[in-house]
Homo-oligomer: A and B are copies of this chain.
Amino acid sequence: MAGNSFGTLFRISTFGESHGVGLGVIIDGCPAGLEIDEEFIQSELARRRPGQSKIVTQRKEGDEFELMSGVFEGKSTGTPIAMIIRNKDQRSKDYSHIMDKYRPSHADFTYDEKYGFRDYRGGGRSSARETAARVAAGAVAKLLLKQYGIRITGYVSQVGALKLEKPYQELDFSQIEANPVRCADAAMAVEMEDLIKQIRKEGDTIGGVVSAVIEGMATGLGAPVFDKLHADLAKAMMSINAAKGFEYGSGFGGVEMKGSQHNDVFEVVDGKTVTQTNHSGGIQGGISNGMDIYFRVAFKPVATIIRAQDSVDKSGNSVTVTGKGRHDPCVVPRAVPIVEAMAALVVADHLLRNKSVRLV
């Protein structure tokens, strides 16, 4: 109930702060017999970790994980899989200059209001560092989904006003990991990278959008009322730091369409029931119909800027806050693996949930 767990049958619980001993995750409910490819998990963590390119934070965290339990001779045993990641070189710093100040658009004020005090070192539990645990767990979920032929691809589709207008079908997914922005279009990637560099020079930050596609979907996943597949995806995405909006299928744009335009006509192709268009985004009545699921997640500009800002402190005094250190000028390149991880967790959970819905 304290909100540090996600999922029902494929369920993760994360712990840890950005500047404490470390962080980690327990996966409870991973089916027995799954090959746990540790290199793959590490490679997913590498996609999220700081310092991977020049346009992300230069903080030094190797993010090596240690597998504590739940795997025997390379396979999941059905018991909890725990993974921990230790923080490095975080102990000695001096945070006294910000311990009482409320940084604008950070969680300093709200944590104090909720808990009475807070671990003020680097944002504590509110730091996006927590998402490393999600990525590690999401990697295991991806290994499970792979067994069912389901694959998830995220990419940056917008940075500031630079927007990739093409539908995902016209993009080249092989480009995504070929550029530091993780944009699925090589030319746009260059523009975006330039913009991010410019923003960083200004000591400022900028927002962006991550798009994602789930291909190879099974039909029947999702529950009909509150746990609609897209409702669980929405919660998953909105739980990522800095997320401000979610839309799937036709999304906000679908508002302006008429039913006669928007409806996806069924047809049978090669013995399989499919739809001619896919404004539904692969989900109807909250349940997957086997077509691709696609969605977009909006991220605000990072709150930490390298400029002096007015604020107040815990006692209500006016203060000035000046960001320093090594922060991301734009969160979306590193958000791509997080979006994928959260999507994988949602689909893996519904995959398991779907196993008990029919008598035969």
Contact = CB atoms under 8 A, between A and B. Distances in A.
Interface in A178-237: 199, 202, 204-209, 219-220, 222-228, 230-237
Nearest to A295: B245
B239 A226 contact: yes
A140 interface: no
Interface in A239-268: 239, 243-252, 254-268
B248 A248 contact: no
The residue in A4, A119, A209, A304 that gathers the most chain B C-beta atoms within 10 A of its C-beta is A4
A125 B77 contact: yes
Interface string A281-308: 1011111111000000011111111010
A8 interface: yes
A63 interface: no
19 contacts: A2-B29, A4-B225, A15-B81, A20-B68, A21-B67, A24-B82, A29-B356, A77-B125, A84-B84, A105-B259, A113-B220, A113-B287, A126-B285, A144-B359, A207-B257, A207-B262, A244-B247, A244-B281, A355-B355
A174 interface: no
A124 interface: yes
B2 A255 contact: no
Given A3-B225, A23-B69, A78-B358, 15 more contacts: A32-B116, A68-B84, A78-B114, A79-B224, A105-B264, A113-B289, A114-B222, A116-B358, A160-B258, A207-B262, A252-B252, A252-B298, A259-B302, A265-B310, A266-B311
A278 to B, nearest CB: 10
A31 B301 contact: no
Nearest to A262: B301
A249 to B, nearest CB: 6
A239 B228 contact: yes
B224 A33 contact: no
Contact of A79 (B124, B202, B234, B254): B124
